[in-house]
Chain A
Amino acid sequence: MTPLLDVQNLSVTFDTDDGVVQAVSDLSFHLDEGEILGIVGESGSGKSVSCLAMMGLVPSPPGRVQGRCARFEGEDLLTLSARAIRKVRGDRISMIFQDPMTSLNPYLRVSSQLTEAMRTHRQVSRKDALDRAVELLDLVHIPDASRRIHDYPHQFSGGMRQRVMIAMALMLEPKILIADEPTTALDVTIQAQILDLLGEIRQRLGTSMILITHDLGVVAGVCDRVGVMYAGRFCEMGPTDLLFSDPSHPYTRGLLRSVPRIDRPSHATLSTIQGNPPNMTDPPAGCAFHPRCEEQFDRCLVERPEWMGDSGEGQKRVACWLEESEAEGSE
């Protein structure tokens, strides 16, 4: 089965005063029809930038995007003209962002913000677009949608705004919804509601999603597959349950240890990963994680690990030399 979205060897760099920042290096992943893919990583690990790059939203200059391809419905997103990719954005692929407080334009009514994508991409009347918008506000469970639609963003609560954002992204029934930290700025209870909503939408509309987050808890709830990013690369990727039950990469393990869990004694201290994320103008040689890795050995310092493990369906892959030595050891 050909995946819905197939990204190969995507790289993004930024020219800054301090040098070239290698934000994303050689990133490859795919997204299947109806799948929810989680991308996890610390801030600055390149998870958002990779999606923005795919959508042609990395400002250039200073940004530069390279890659073999990002194939989507027979087109290569990376080589599309600015005009052509604009037609994809908001129509077949749409995005929602982290902070619903700032992601909605405070000066425009929600109604016009909801309908403008539709009126841009399709020939529809104002009335029809408005009806569709009310329908979607109902879908995302905004009470009294037909009245509230004429309000301004500041008249909604944070959670409600994120619902509006989701409704806005779904106006044209996109194939893919990219949700960039959709719950980070929300209260915990609201977070759960929004995640439930995303799951419900996948059920009802069959939308594929890429869920970008730094919160493993978010991933665990809704994602089918998870990729863990560090310093612009994936270090581990696989089905969610497999990755959570048997994390292979020391970074993944570190991340999992730093999440509070209900099945551990409450007095057990949470561990943290030592050190800071690498300076991306001058990333460490070898494995980018080695300066912070407790299990590093000589090879990690000089040679970068490639994907290891089975690439087949339902399998987990990891980019760590430990995996290889384990494999050798068990042979």
Chain B
Amino acid sequence: MARYLFRRILFLPLVLLVLLTASFFLMRAAPGDPFANERGRDPEIQKNLKAKYHLDKPLWVQYGIFLKNLLQGDLGLSTKYKDRTVNEIVAGHLPPSVLLGVIALLLALVVGVATGTVAAVRQNTVFDYSTMAVAMVGISAPTFVVGPLLVLVFAYYLHWFPITGWGSWHELILPAVTLALPFTARISRLMRTGMLEIIRQEFIKTARAKGLTETRIVLRHAIRGALLPVISYLGPATAEIMTGSLVVEKIFQVPGIGYEFVNSALNRDYSLVLGLVAVFGTLLVFMNLLVDIVYGLLDPRIRYE
């Protein structure tokens, strides 16, 4: 387990570094500078601004300063909102995004695992077919199609939920469901496939020969093995949820970092974009690490490696 985790711990920050480096140089490679269009066209002010943001230094030095500050947890100043640090903006906007993401992930796990398991156990029944048809829809239909349609039906016509907004649990449901749907679908499919593979294994025959009930066989013998592909999917799923949150936060006007990221990119707020990428990347790395640990705990063959 230790060796396995060690490999992953070395690997994941590398992903983060690649992401940050690519973002940094892409941002800096853009033609023009962030202050060119501002009122203060006075060269003196321009110069001061550039100095403040270290834009007057060579690219590699800028990169070094960026990484150094990042390691100290300092994400710098926003180039757009000059009186606010990126840290403040992140602190204000991170909680809604994390809340939404965690709820969506839990929802997807619970519903996906349950439906996938039942579909596998009742293979080739109406339940199986309909679950898999819905799952196919869930995987193919993009979040930005499902979300607005849900709003139209449940908020505009049925008035069950508010249209947009943030604050109460009531306002949380539609965005969470929208965000969770593709992952629910994929987890359901993964769970079904995993379950079907497991229940064909010899050790399930052994369990049956012991006279255990089907429920007990599924819950005790099959589910652990069938969960493994689902657990490994949670790593990439985190990245996808972050991407999905860009859209969901825009549709439902959730004041999260996804919404903030899109805006900052459109505004070309360099340091805010980079800061938010760093936050997303760090979350991703931690989530992947967590997934690896859970995987190791579930599979004794890795735990005792």
Q: Which residues of A contact B (CB under 8 A)?
A: 55, 57, 86-91, 94-95, 97-99, 102-108, 116-117, 120-121, 152, 154-155, 165, 168-169
Contact = CB atoms under 8 A, between A and B. Distances in A.
14 contacts: A86-B211, A88-B211, A89-B209, A91-B211, A102-B203, A103-B202, A107-B221, A108-B221, A108-B224, A117-B211, A120-B211, A120-B216, A152-B301, A168-B210
Contacts of A168: 206, 210
Interface string B190-230: 00000000000111011111111100100011001100000
A88 B208 CA distance: 11
Contacts of B201: 102
A165 B211 contact: no
A57 B216 CA distance: 16
B234 to A, nearest CB: 18
B205 A97 contact: yes
B304 interface: yes
Interface string B220-252: 110011000000000000000000000000000
Interface string B95-119: 0000000000000000000000000
Nearest to B202: A102
B300 A152 contact: yes
B300 A117 contact: no
Given A102-B202, A105-B221, A107-B225, A95 B209 contact: yes
B4 to A, nearest CB: 15
B33 interface: no
B224 A107 contact: yes
A152 B208 contact: no
B163 to A, nearest CB: 46
Interface in B55-82: none
Nearest to A112: B220
A81 to B, nearest CB: 13
B210 A89 contact: yes
Given A55-B209, A89-B209, A117-B211, A107 B216 contact: no
B219 to A, nearest CB: 12
B146 interface: no
B202 A89 contact: no
Interface of B: 201-203, 205-213, 216, 220-221, 224-225, 298-301, 304
Could you tell me the dominant secondary structure of chain B's interface residues? helix
A89 B207 contact: no
Nearest to A98: B202
B14 to A, nearest CB: 31
Contacts of A90: 209-212
A88 B212 CA distance: 11
A304 B257 CA distance: 79
A94 B210 contact: yes
A116 B301 contact: no
Nearest to A106: B301
B19 to A, nearest CB: 34
With most chain A CB atoms within 10 A of its CB, the pick from B205, B210, B224 is B210
With most chain B CB atoms within 10 A of its CB, the pick from A91, A116, A155, A168 is A116
A57 B217 CA distance: 14
Closest 7 pairs (CB-CB, A-B): A90-B210, A90-B211, A89-B211, A102-B202, A117-B210, A95-B209, A107-B224
A214 to B, nearest CB: 17
Contacts of B298: 107
A94 B209 contact: yes
A91 B213 CA distance: 13
A154 B207 CA distance: 18
Nearest to B228: A107
Contacts of B209: 55, 57, 89-90, 94-95, 97, 169
A21 B300 CA distance: 40
A104 B212 CA distance: 15
A268 B124 CA distance: 54
B206 A97 contact: yes
B207 to A, nearest CB: 7
B205 A103 contact: yes
